[in-house]
Structure 1
Amino acid sequence: MTVRNEIHRLVEAAFGRAQSAGELPALELPEFAVERPARPEHGDFAVSLALRLARAARMPPLQIAQAIARHLDRPEFLDRVEVAPPGFINFFLNDRWVCRQVEAILAAGPEYGRVSPGPGLNIQVEFVSANPVGPLHVGNGRGAVLGSTLANILGLAGHRVTREYYINDAGSQMDAFYRSLWARYLQALGHEAEFPPDGYPGQYLVEIAREIVAEHGDRFARMPEAEGRLALGKLGVEKVLGLIRRDLADLRVEFDVWYSEQSLYDSGLFQKVLNLLRERGFVEEREGALWFVSTALGEDKDNVLIRSNGLPTYFASDIAYHYDKFAIRKFDRVIDIWGADHQGHVPRMKAAVQALGFDPDRLIILLTQMVTLRRGAEVVRLSKRTGEIITLREVIDEVGADACRYFFL
């Protein structure tokens, strides 16, 4: 049992004894929380139950708090209990007891914190899920550490946890990546090749192209261009994923499943889900595009599923992906960890889950805030080595995995 839960139990028992002693009227105990005070002089934990009881008890909250405090047991972990105006009960932990917990934690080893809540839930935690078009940047690190830590805690709490990385290997960004790598590959072979204006200009792509030339020579250049570009692009994605896997492993972030977005289309699942939404009346065709009628579920606007050019939106494939999570793999809870720039997508994703026939409360979306790097007092925005965005690899190499995990949390 945690200290917080034990204090909750102590207060419940003291409330009952105060009633039995006639110091408090016969009232039903309302729900209350054991909180951490903002200021240390107010204790390690505090309860404001008396403030909630004052109206019903027709007593000053300070008097109620004093009555409860008089009947509190004093277990070993408590140093003292203080009542403070207007009706707080503040709990101070015993310093010697706190110090002894270090020995208990070390003795328990990896088992420390494990609880047995009964039959656990089947929970998926999907996090990072960066496009495989380049190395992870420092901002990806926060979501990686948060997801990894949350999954570890859920596992210790007795739940069955699946850690999943959703590989966004379909759509327009992949086409831009393929064309970018094709240009760098031809340049590495000594050919003239124009770099696409919407391409990925990072130095990492030049290095990947040189590596492929060293391994395969002009093999892809000898193919018909469309065929060669596709084969080269797929190889490039594998190499980028290799970099991503390496960086995450060095950060001690592990995944059980690497799920390909493209597989949604290859398996026919995307079309199946689109047909399901159409049958349920949540798909309309207008302006040459297919729309998800999210306004029917309380949203302020509808959202495009298939653009007028015939290409699916990222949102459309995400709906099919979440159908797979709930309908096929039958997770009890799904936790998505997204960057703060995706905040506006949360309501429509919840609406889509509801349209598929599932309780939207089973989907929990956590948003991570942006990362600011400082070296001393200076805010660091660009890599010294490349003059480009700072990669997660550079931060791991400079400060180590432990410091990364600590500060990202």
Structure 2
Amino acid sequence: MSHAPASLHHLPRLRTRDLAQLGGLIRPGTHDSPLMALGKRFTVAPPGFPTMLITHDMDDVREVFTNHEDFSVGQLLKRVSNHDRLFGRETLVFLEGEAHRRERRLYSPPFQHKAVRSYQDVMVAAVQRELPGWPVGEPIEFVRVGYDLALGVLLEVVFGDVPVARRDRLRQAVIHWFEAIESRGFLVATMLTPLLGGYTPPYPPLRRGQALVDRLLVEEIAARRAALGDGVDRQDMLSRYVGTELDPHDDVALARNLRGILLGAYETTAITVGWIATMLAGHPKVLAELDSLAEDDARFDAYLDAVVAETMRVRPVSPFTGRRAARDTEINGLRIPKGTIVVLPILLIHESPEHYPDPMSFRPERFLDERPNGHTWLPFGGGSHRCLGAPFALLEARILFRAILEQRRIQPTTGELEPPRRLHTGLSPARNALVTLLPR
């Protein structure tokens, strides 16, 4: 006999006065949170917000990721985030169903394995260009290093060899745009978004910055279209796209999507680079293992890949993800009303001893004999909305650090690891990953 689905009202409920405890699910040490006493599923209804289901039941997680018809990323982002201001609602992240699948097919070829591997020389060149300016023997903020490397790689990979003056104009425009995104003023506007039902107040510096970036991107796209058929073999992302069967967009729409690629990869790369440096500095045995493998390229790369994967496990840039129910539905015997927000606590899953023995230890070796499990290793999310640039990001992290470690040593540190920032929903090093480099 089949059973009727349970109601959300049957689940434990977090009291409004205890809402601050939710922060314990997005900071290392999640399993010490008093919320663990509520079980793998509980609900919360913050004043002015839709009902939220917090679940780390893995059957729930799989159903939410795979049920593309009933659960929406776009509707969640529209309700609680500033993404529509940053990306525009016509871009890939907001699309659902067949529209999302079609757009994803159009943009995926430059991120596939063979294409990604062709960018290695560009990544190494970015390190060789930036590294001579880094201080030696004194602390350096490795997140800032990551920003410089990420932007240098992105501009080369996306646009390729463009005249220096045009590239510098675009670089400065992108930097100013990012500064507006990270400004205190836009942070305040963003904090108001959930309280205003998903409306992010206009922020003029951001609007001006985006307009300039879009104008310069349209110029680059037009220049690339004009160069079609000139016999030059270009391998950048834009050239792999423009003038092919993948290119149904007008220049303005293409520019908007390219801007989304720049934004999506820039900050996450910088923060990940910072955490990798922090983890290496804080774990001398891991550094020693890398040094011992320096003469064996294959084993060195395999171990460095494992370092990257383990860093993303213990310090995922986004410690949670979610979906919003687009209609009344059901998951794993639980009735989910339309409009419910389902929150999937990635860091809590990553720190679960059910999935990772000794989960609080930094052990790259756990990823040497087997690749990360896409069901329980979720730094890029999951399902059809899993980050399109995941293969690029993983290769980039390894290539950048191989190039860095060939020329510099990281000084080991003692004491506690640098913590994440407080009062921030992401996981970013509180001191921008202070690490000291030494001569090789």
TM-score (norm 2): 0.23
- Between structures 1 and 2, the one with greater strand share: 1
Bigger relative contact order, structure 1 or 2, given CA contacts below 8 A and separation 6+? 2
- Between structures 1 and 2, the one with greater helix share: 2
Highest Rg: 1 or 2?
Answer: 1
